[in-house]
Amino acid sequence: MSEMLRDLSIEDSYRSDRSNVVAEFYIPCLSAANRYDRAVGYFTSASLALVARGLESFERNGGRLRLIASPHLTDRDIEEMRAGYAYRDVIAKAVARELNPDTERSPKELAGLGILGRLIAQGTLDVKIAIVHGRDGLALYHEKIGLIADKYGDTAAFTGSMNETGSAFLENFESIHVFKSWNPNDRSRVDGIRADFEELWAGRTPRVEILEFPKVAREHFIALGKRAAQAPASADVPELLTVSTDLTTLGWARLPRDLELRDYQKAAIAQWLSANGRGIFQMATGTGKTITALAALDQVGRQLHARQVPLVTVVVVPLLDLVEQWSGELRSFGVVPIKCRDTATSWQPAARNAIAALQARRQGSVTLVVTNATFRGATFQRLLATIDSPLLVIADEAHHLGAEHLRASLPDSAQFRLALSATPERWFDPEGTDALKDYFGDTLIELGLKEAIDLGALTRYRYHPVLVPLSDDEAEQYTELTVKIGALLRSKEPESRGEDDTSPLGMLLNKRAKVLGHARAKMPALRQAVEQHRQSAFQLVYCAEGGAPLAEGGTGPRQVDQVLELVGNELGLRAHTFTARENKRQRIDLLRSFATGRDLQVLVSMRCLDEGVDLPDARVAYMLASSTNPRQFIQRRGRILRRAPGKDLAEVIDFVVMPPQDPALFDIERRLFKRELARCVEFAGYAENCGEALAKLRDLRDYYQLLDV
């Protein structure tokens, strides 16, 4: 079954500063479509070649294309009309001139025109010419609308400044807005654009005269189709990049002129180059791992370009939000990447064509940004197998790729490799950690929290541990779980002592962590803390996942909902959840509102703010729960400590549950609480109020004999 338009990741708008409209919109949509109606300002032979992008699959689908455009008139054409020549004859001559089959053309242009020539010959492409009768004579039809439909009845309609011209696709700053028939809010806009096009095609639009496509122009089109069919096979390769010799238009990344790298970033790049382009950057969250990696891409690109060697770069990220974040950073380096996510039809044609064009041209660079899930899929793996150019793999949050099902997908053919992570060691997975090091190489830079703060890369902060007791029933549940955990830890069976999430011990540890994370006393403690910041913006609340485990089974209400009720309704702060329930558009709007410092004061989340969300303005973080995995707390800590204008100090309020302190369970409680306490002590140690924070923890450290932690 063919892909449906509604299965594609179609944005509401595309703009030159953030999108490659050909790769991200035209090619995926036309590959899934069987109808394409387009009305544009004017066209040239170069623009017609560009219309053909994505039409290979469209042609295989039995697609039907209708095109309305104004002729491209020269000064001489206009003079002839003023001299009394029949305007229809002048227009027919101008249209035929653009399609002269004897004109010398680039392989790319000839390939595109050849596709359209075949469609004309098959009767599946119809073209009409539009002219406007103005007050002072003829004028150009300059409207720009389009409709792409599939056989299932779905239509994507679009309008905006994009012309079907070479300059519009490749040089001008353009934008389009897209409306989807399957979206109830867009349906009337789609119907309106469809009605406008049908009125135009039928010649019923006031002041606009529609002329049939000149017979001689049609013959020229067919001749071009035959000429293209006789051209060398390489001419059929659609090229996604411009033919300009400017390096960024060939896909090479270039450091922005207004960006000054820090010394530690320069040192990391130099070491990576010295290690033949392999290694790991272990850098605290917020210290610029992405910028460092892109600057390394710039440097290796300069060396390859000087040797006229092409490069394919694959950036592998764990989350969809990170695809957008990396794409934005790449655009600031002059690169428009192909975003590989969701269904294959939304990215595969653009990626395949870009790599084929690169390998035919043997110069330039192509960059793909891909989610872990898509990366390990068979479609992307087949694409990797076709690459015979040097390949650079950049792995963001690289610890994810240490998982057995992901590390097997890492290509052995990659000449250059770079892993980025604040914590590359995998929790309770030494085999996965070793596999990452074997693939990517040595750790080339270790920039921890203290060094980053001392260097000014992260913000100074104050740390406030808030000690919270368990209620009687929570303490009883906690004690019961602790007894079971102690029995497993004393067991001589290795499988009983494994701490991964699916092991017996791991499941008990997770359930015990949920009891602590959902301790009811945290709500009044949070109220007291938030009341001190009622007038402040830029606040984050990290909640425990799900609801509290009930002794009789099942779970209670979600903590994130309880917090929103407390902060938003009872205390009256402007707050909103930021969870998996918010869609991509809502998340973008929430982040924008948060960044204003006015519209939204508080974001309430569980895990969605752990990775891939850039919130440098955040000043206050309430840590209601963290897992025993140190990575989660390190990522959250780094997120609140990012630098931002006007931000001199951050505050972290950490809600730490006190165990029941049962003397009979002292040893096992000490062993388990040691991890939590080590995290608290480390964070207190780098805080501006170190002495005050450690003093709050002293009694617990003394009771559990952990003053040496």
For residue 53, the domain's CATH number is 3.30.870.10
Q: Measured between alpha carbons, how far is 693 from 370 in angstroms, rounded to an integer? A: 42
Query: Is pLDDT at 168 greater than 50 in this prediction?
Result: no
**Structural domain of residue 662, as residue ranges?**
460-470+520-703
First to last CA, the chain: 61
Question: Confidence class of residue 166 from pLDDT cuts 50, 70 and 90?
Answer: very low
Q: What order of strands is seen across the sheet that includes strand 602-605?
A: 460-468, 649-657, 620-623, 539-542, 602-605, 575-578
Contacts of 149 (CB under 8 A, 6+ apart): 5, 33, 34, 35, 36, 155, 156
The reply to whether 79 and 56 lie within a common domain is: yes
- Residue among 612, 613, 632 nearest 624 (CA): 632
The C-alpha atoms of residue 552 and residue 95 are separated, in whole angstroms, by: 79
Give the model's pLDDT for residue 239.
33
The whole-number pLDDT of residue 167 equals 38
Cα–Cα distance measured from residue 572 to residue 574, given in angstroms and rounded to the nearest whole number:
7
In a domain, 103, yes or no: yes
* Residue 349 within a domain: yes
- The C-alpha atoms of residue 423 and residue 436 are separated, in whole angstroms, by 12
Instruction: Name residue 264's amino acid.
Output: Y
Q: At 577, which helix (H) or strand (E)?
A: strand 575-578
- For residue 163, name the pLDDT band (cuts at 50, 70, 90): very low
CB 518 within 8 A of CB 557: no
All residues at 6 or more sequence positions from 80 whose CB lies less than 8 Å from its CB, including other chains: 90
Q: Do 127 and 189 sit in the same domain of this protein?
A: yes
Smallest CA-to-CA distance from 360 within 483, 461, 234 is with: 234
Shared domain check, 272 and 207:
no
**Which structure tokens are listed for 54?**
């994505």
The pLDDT score that the predictor gives to residue 427 is 47
Name the residue with tokens 């119907």.
191
pLDDT at residue number 18: 64
Of 597, 530, 594, the closest CA to residue 562 belongs to 530
Separation CA 119–CA 67 (nearest Å): 12
Categorize the per-residue pLDDT at 44 as very low, low, confident or very high, splitting at 50, 70 and 90. Answer: low
- Per-residue confidence band for 683, with pLDDT thresholds at 50, 70 and 90: confident
Q: Do you know the residue count of the chain? A: 709
Average the pLDDT over 46-57 and give the result.
Answer: 64
Single out the residue in 236, 270, 290 at which a domain terminates: 236
CA gap 611, 82 in Å, rounded: 65
Residue 405's pLDDT is 65
What ranges make up the beta strands (E) of 290-442?
311-317, 338-340, 365-371, 391-395, 416-421
Same domain, 225 and 331: no
Same domain for 327 and 211: no
Domain count, the chain: 3
Q: By CB neighbour count within 10 A (0-12 exposed, 13-18 middle, 19+ buried), where does 176 fall?
A: buried
**Nearest to 654, CA basis, from 682, 674, 631:** 682
The pLDDT of residue 651: 95
CA atoms of 66 and 529, how far apart (whole Å): 64
Confidence of residue 573 (pLDDT cuts 50, 70, 90): very high
Residue type at position 97 = R
658, 579 in Cβ contact below 8 A?
Answer: no
78/72 Cα distance (integer angstroms): 11
Average pLDDT over residues 533-557: 87
Among 380, 366, 434, 368, which residue's Cα sits nearest to residue 411? 380
Query: Is residue 173 in some structural domain?
Result: yes
- List all residues 6 or more positions away from 307 whose beta carbon is below 8 Å from its beta carbon: none
Residue 364 phi/psi, 5-degree rounding, is 100, -170
Ranges of beta strands (E only) in 239-324 are 278-283, 311-317
Claim to verify: residue 407 and residue 533 sit in the same structural domain: no
Going by DSSP bridges, is the β-strand pair 35-42/145-149 parallel, antiparallel, or unpaired? antiparallel
HSE, CB side, 13 Å, CA atoms: give it for residue 590. Answer: 24
Asked if the structure places residue 481 within a domain, the reply is no
Span of 201-215, 351-365, 649-663 with lowest mean pLDDT: 351-365
490 domain residue, yes or no: no
CATH code, domain carrying 292: 3.40.50.300
**pLDDT of residue 299 exceeding 90:** yes
Reported in sequence order, the residue ranges of 231-352 that DSSP labels E, i.e. its strands, are: 278-283, 311-317, 338-340
Which one has a higher pLDDT value, 363 or 50? 363
Q: Are residues 222 and 276 in the same domain?
A: no
**pLDDT at 444 > cutoff 90:** yes
Element spanning 155, H or E: strand 155-160
Say what the pLDDT of residue 231 is: 66
Final residue belonging to a domain, choices 454, 478, 502: 454
* 338-340 and 365-371 beta bridge pairing: parallel
Q: Please indicate, yes or no, whether the overall pTM of this predicted structure exceeds 0.75.
A: no
- The phi, psi pair for 375, rounded to 5°, reads -55, -40
In this prediction, residue 402 carries a pLDDT of 63
Greatest mean pLDDT among 55-69, 209-223, 238-252, 301-315 lies in 301-315
Quick one: tokens of 648? 């001199």
What is the per-residue pLDDT for 471? 92
Residues 90 and 212 grouped into a single domain: yes
- pLDDT exceeds 90 at position 566: yes
Residues 568 and 625 in one domain: yes
| Residue where the block lists tokens 């450290």 | 701
The pLDDT value given to residue 608:
64
Residue 475 lies in a domain: no
Q: How far apart are CA 543 and CA 538, in angstroms?
A: 16
pLDDT in tens, 483-501: 888 888 887 666 555 556 6
User: What pLDDT is attached to residue 628?
Assistant: 52
Same domain, 575 and 437: no
- Dump pLDDT digits (tens) for 381-402: 999 999 999 999 999 988 878 6
Domain check: are 231 and 269 in the same one?
A: no
Per the domain annotation, does 616 fall within a domain? Answer: yes
The amino acid that residue 284 corresponds to is: A
Of 206, 236, 266, the last residue of a domain is 236
- The pLDDT mean for the chain works out to 83
For 507-526, the pLDDT digits (tens) are 888 888 888 889 999 999 99
Q: What would the DSSP string read from start to end of 447-516?
A: E-HHHHHHTTSB-EEEEEEEEEPPPHHHHHHHHHHHHHHHHHHH-S-HHHH--STTSHHHHHHHHHHHHH
In a domain, 307, yes or no: yes
Grade residue 440 by pLDDT with cuts at 50, 70 and 90: very high
Q: How far apart are CA 402 and CA 423, in angstroms?
A: 12
Q: Indicate if 91 and 181 belong to the same structural domain.
A: yes
Helix or strand run (H / E) with residue 649: strand 649-657
Instruction: Quote the distance between the C-alpha of residue 604 and its chain's center.
Output: 22
Residues facing residue 464 across a β-bridge: 653
pLDDT at residue 301 in the model: 92
Quote the pLDDT of residue 49: 64
For residue 125, the cross-strand partners are: 65
CB burial of residue 4 (10 Å; 0-12, 13-18, 19+): middle
